[in-house]
A = this chain, B = another copy of it.
Amino acid sequence: MLRFVKRTSKKVGLSPGMLVHTGEQKMEKTTISIIAYDPENLTEKELPSIEEAYPYRDAPPVTWININGLHDVEIIEKIGQHFNIHPLTLEDVVHTAQRPKVDDFENYLYVVLKMLSFEEQTGHILSEQISLILGDNFLFSFQEQKGDVFETVRQRIRLAKGRIRRSGGDYLAYALTDAVVDHYFVVLEKMGEKIERLEEELLKEPSATTLETIHGLKREMIYFRKQVWPLREVLNWLVKDQSSLIKETTQVFLRDIYDHTIQVVDTIESLRDVLSGLQDLYLSTISNRMNEVMKVLTIMATIFIPLTFIAGIYGMNFEFMPELKWKWSYPLLWLVLVSIFGCMLLWFKRKKWL
């Protein structure tokens, strides 16, 4: 459950703007990499210290500064001072329990995204907070750890594919957001496959763990939805409100991601409905089986209990039981027993229990 409620108690009571990294420290050393480009030139390098990124603030081409690792709060603070970032933004960057949101600080836009991945072994959806700070001619991206879904974007920049080298930082921000949202479909696909397998299993041979699996999937769906739902508003804001930092040509692309997000949310809802349906199906399968078990018991008991009673009667030791002495008693009794047995069978047939 603690994925739903990130621990924030270390932060309680601090003054706003105090930088405290609240996630777990997922890597040893913060790494800073830079890609600066215009249609003709491309610079890509790892920076040993944040100070070397300072000159890019006023350099005209687009510069993408990517920070991996958020525990080194000093670096974040320096960025804040030099690039003129509001303390609340810096606080949200390192406090990795934000909802997706967009904040407009006139000189820059601050966007929080959630990068999701699906861990096959545990069946858990993992979430990593991506913060984007889009200024006039720079774009910061902050990640909690190495490994991201942006490699294809880097390739497109390196190979000058598509319009990315000809466009500004807003298009780059779009490209990164698009990469994140595209990856939601991958997660969705994996969830879909799991649900499909589950449905097949349920119709063939439901086991006691089936419901736990359904429960687990439902919980993941709740978690998934919680991460994606607020993104709708973020993108709607970016498409509707004219921040001067987003060019009009980029808005048509943002509308595209907006459509994708709606589709993700839509599909999550549908899958949740399907999961509820599977749960109902499972519960009634259990009921049906119970019914079958009870029928077997009832048929056996109902047939043999009276027969056993009759046998018991003639097992009594009374001295004066005339039937015991008759010659044909025993075969006659068998006749009686067999006909009772037959009547019972007929009765159960008529009741459609057999």
A contact set with B: CB distance below 8 Å? 1-2, 4-5, 7-9, 11-18, 86, 88, 92, 97-99, 101, 103, 105, 149, 151-153, 156, 161-164, 175, 178-179, 182-183, 185-186, 188-189, 191-193, 195-196, 199, 203, 205, 208, 211-212, 215, 218-219, 222-223, 226, 230, 252-253, 255-256, 259, 262-263, 266-267, 270-271, 273-274, 277-291, 293-298, 300-302, 304-309, 311-321, 323-330, 333, 352-353
Contact = CB atoms under 8 A, between A and B. Distances in A.
13 contacts: A2-B189, A4-B267, A9-B186, A12-B186, A86-B252, A222-B277, A282-B284, A283-B287, A293-B295, A298-B300, A304-B308, A315-B316, A320-B327
A282 to B, nearest CB: 7
B293 A353 contact: yes
A256 B352 CA distance: 52
Residue among A4, A97, A179, A314 facing the most chain B CB atoms (10 A cut-off): A4
A8 B185 contact: yes
Task: Please report whether the interface of chain A is mostly helix, strand, loop or mixed according to DSSP.
Answer: helix
A9 B179 contact: no
For the complex formed by this chain, how many copies does it contain in all? 5
Contacts of A161: 15
A318 B316 CA distance: 10
Contact of A300 (B164, B305, B324): B305
A18 B312 contact: no
A287 B287 contact: yes
Contacts of A211: 280-281, 284-285, 288
Contact of A178 (B1, B16, B151, B164): B16
Contacts of A263: 97-99
Contact of A1 (B179, B199, B286, B321): B199
